[in-house]
């Protein structure tokens, strides 16, 4: 764990993914979220295909594999990101990131009912503690927002959208873990899924937001480049190298660093106000996630 080949990608992926949640807020400021999602993956998709090619992973898929990539693409690279982008219109970006730290819970539940994976008792208790912690931060988000009960400035709507994003991402995670998905190199499956998701994003953006906007702000396009290349492409090889080096269980702890960075960035740039309640909730969330992850990887 103290090898530089582990420490460097671990810190880089956690820091990059933690920062992306705030960058998204600049993508939805006066620009329809659907078009921002499309622009992001329009740039990221060919770059990810290039990564797969350079990694010498097979890119030819059979019909069943293409169907799987299409399902994953619509769920992950359209539904999930559209829900996230819209959620951040109403809820602090760091809180949305923290909620996504709990994605291990629906992942485990869906895996239990779909492919029969066992859920350890320690995982359930740790998850419960984490849920209580996150809930305290959501209560603070609700009570500190004067428009909490008004549709259009509605924290509850943002929470609901974030939960839908978590659900679609979890379904995509479980679906791609079936035998068909396991037979495809992960980076190749993701490249094709991203392509299908991008095509779907294009049609949806035209349907719900009209013709494409072209913002004049260099900051907007800089955010697109950062999210597409740094946040969506550079991190994938780093992440999967970590999985090879230390295993999926230990790599999952990267979520703790990600949400910590996201909350730190929200504190600096979104003016997030800490209280004893929110600090305690953050502590419970992190401790619960650690306990759940330790249980899931067998100690």
Cα distance between residue 166 and residue 149, in whole Å: 23
DSSP 8-class letter at 59 = -
87 burial (CB, 10 Å; 0-12 / 13-18 / 19+) is: buried
- CA–CA separation, 257 and 259 (whole Å): 6
Q: At what angle do helices 4-25 and 235-251 cross, to 10 degrees?
A: 110
Cα–Cα distance for residue pair 154/149, rounded to 1 Å: 6
Burial 214-225 (b: 16+ CB within 10 A, else e): ebeeeebeebbe
CA of residue 66 relative to chain centroid, distance: 23
Cα 41 from Cα 224, distance rounded (Å): 9
pTM of the model: 0.88
Residues in the chain: 299
Structural contact between residues 185 and 52, judged by C-beta atoms closer than 8 angstroms: yes
State the DSSP code for 253.
T
Domain ranges across the chain: 4-296
Residue 77, both tokens: 């690279």
The tens-digit pLDDT sequence of the chain (299 residues) is 557 778 888 899 999 999 999 999 999 999 999 999 999 999 999 999 999 999 899 999 999 999 999 999 999 999 999 999 999 999 999 999 999 988 888 878 887 777 667 777 788 889 899 999 999 988 888 877 655 444 445 888 899 999 999 999 988 888 887 888 889 988 899 999 999 999 999 999 999 999 999 999 999 999 999 999 999 888 877 887 776 677 656 777 888 899 999 999 999 998 888 999 899 999 999 999 888 888 765 44
CB atoms within 10 A of CB 278: 20
Handedness of CA 128, 133, 136, 137 (dihedral sign): negative
């Amino acid at each position: 764990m103290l090898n530089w080949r582990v420490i460097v990608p671990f810190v880089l992926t956690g820091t990059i993914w933690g920062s992306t949640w705030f960058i998204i807020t600049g993508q939805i400021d006066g620009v329809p979220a659907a078009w921002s999602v499309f622009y992001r993956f329009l740039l990221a998709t060919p770059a990810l295909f290039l990564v797969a090619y350079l990694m010498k992973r097979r890119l030819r898929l059979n019909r069943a594999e293409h169907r799987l990539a299409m399902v994953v693409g619509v769920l992950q690279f359209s539904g999930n990101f559209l829900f996230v982008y819209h959620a951040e219109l109403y809820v602090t970006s760091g809180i949305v990131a923290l909620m996504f730290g709990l994605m291990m819970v629906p992942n485990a539940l869906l895996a239990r009912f779909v492919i029969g994976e066992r859920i350890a008792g320690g995982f359930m208790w740790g998850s419960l503690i984490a849920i209580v912690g996150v809930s305290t931060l959501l209560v603070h988000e609700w009570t500190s927002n004067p428009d909490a009960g008004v549709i259009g400035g509605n924290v509850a709507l943002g929470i609901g959208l974030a939960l839908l994003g978590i659900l679609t991402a979890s379904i995509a995670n479980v679906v791609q873990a079936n035998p068909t998905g396991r037979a495809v190199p992960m980076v190749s499956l993701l490249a094709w899924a991203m392509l299908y998701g991008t095509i779907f994003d294009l049609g949806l953006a035209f349907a719900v937001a009209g013709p494409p906007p072209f913002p004049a702000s260099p900051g907007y396009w800089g955010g697109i480049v950062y999210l597409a290349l740094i946040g969506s492409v550079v991190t994938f090889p780093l992440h999967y190298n970590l999985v090879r080096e230390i295993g999926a269980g230990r790599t999952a702890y990267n979520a703790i660093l990600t949400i910590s960075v996201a909350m730190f960035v929200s504190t600096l740039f979104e003016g997030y106000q800490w209280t004893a309640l929110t600090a305690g909730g953050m502590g419970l969330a992190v401790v619960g996630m650690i306990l759940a992850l330790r249980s899931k990887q067998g100690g």
